[in-house]
Amino acid sequence: MTGLGDLVANGSLLVAVPIALLAGLVSFASPCVLPLVPGYLGYVSGFTGTAEGRDRRRMLLGAALFVLGFAVVFVVFTFAFSIAGILLLRWVDLITRIVGVIVIAMGLVFIGRFTAVQRTIRPSWTVATGLGGAPLLGVVFGLGWAPCIGPTLAVVLSLSFTEASAGRGVLLGIVYSLGLGIPFLLVALGLGWVAGSVAWLKRHIRVVNIAGGAMLVAVGVLMVTGLWTLFLESLQGMVSGFVPAV
């Protein structure tokens, strides 16, 4: 089995991929993203009214280009961390424990502690509205909002580092971007149940933050204690030793 098949069959990815997807979803529900979703969509589509018909398709295309823009940024991030994992493979266990401490701290930030750490970096230059500027706005979002969504992004970056594989790092970056980007596309589609879900998230955003932060703290504790590495190694052994019945 080669290529993509190897990545999918890797035992550690059976855990890393769902966590990366969940991290993206939690990032979307964060206070620095969720309240601004209508503004983003209006900006990238150049349309601020009630979108219908062709305007709705334009908004969906703008959202897709916007998602593509920040996906490039996050994939570059995870790729860089996976390369660092390859170069520092000898010390990966120690570094994983250190990263675990950082992930715990990021989890506390997401819960609401140390709020000064969770901020955005807004570039002084602006991006043109409409479809032409949508991908660039996505890049600006990925760079400028990285500190704000840092708690969840930190988990994905740490997973990319411990995977120590460029291909797996890129895959985790794509999955994280899908978790963050798919809700943007669903909102752009204007589906009633999506609007209701977003409204529910806004009303319960504190609960979402606590749950997401608790998840980060739990992963961090596993990393610090070494249980994370042992679990991934045992899971990878189970997957590699699995023989189909047919």
pLDDT at 177: 95
Q: What is the DSSP letter of 114?
A: S
Confidence of residue 181 (pLDDT cuts 50, 70, 90): very high
pLDDT at 157: 87
Residues 11-40 have a mean pLDDT of: 82
Scored b (16 or more CB within 10 A) or e, 91-108 reads ebeebbbebbebbbbbbb
Between 156 and 198, residue with greater pLDDT: 156
Query: Looking at the domain assignment, is residue 232 inside a domain?
Result: yes
Number of separate domains in the chain: 1
Q: Which of 29-33, 134-138, 181-185 has the lowest mean pLDDT?
A: 29-33
Does residue 193 surpass a pLDDT of 80?
Answer: no
pLDDT at 39: 79
What is the percentage of the chain residues whose pLDDT exceeds 70? Answer: 77
Confidence of residue 80 (pLDDT cuts 50, 70, 90): very high
Query: Looking at the domain assignment, is residue 242 inside a domain?
Result: no
Query: Looking at the domain assignment, is residue 133 inside a domain?
Result: yes
Scored b (16 or more CB within 10 A) or e, 39-66 reads ebbbbbbbbeeebeeeebebbbebbbbb
* Dihedral sign for Cα atoms in the order 162, 168, 174, 179: negative
Query: Looking at the domain assignment, is residue 37 inside a domain?
Result: yes
Residues 92-100 have a mean pLDDT of: 83
Segments forming the whole domain that contains residue 106 = 7-237
Query: Looking at the domain assignment, is residue 2 inside a domain?
Result: no
Q: Which of 126-130, 197-201, 207-211 has the lowest mean pLDDT?
A: 126-130
Residues 153-176 have a mean pLDDT of: 87
Does residue 164 surpass a pLDDT of 80?
Answer: no
Separation between Cα atoms, residue 114 and residue 111, nearest integer Å: 9
Query: Looking at the domain assignment, is residue 246 inside a domain?
Result: no
**Mean pLDDT, the chain, integer:** 77
Does residue 234 surpass a pLDDT of 50?
Answer: yes
Confidence of residue 76 (pLDDT cuts 50, 70, 90): very high
Query: Looking at the domain assignment, is residue 245 inside a domain?
Result: no
pLDDT at 2: 44
Query: Looking at the domain assignment, is residue 244 inside a domain?
Result: no
Confidence of residue 203 (pLDDT cuts 50, 70, 90): confident
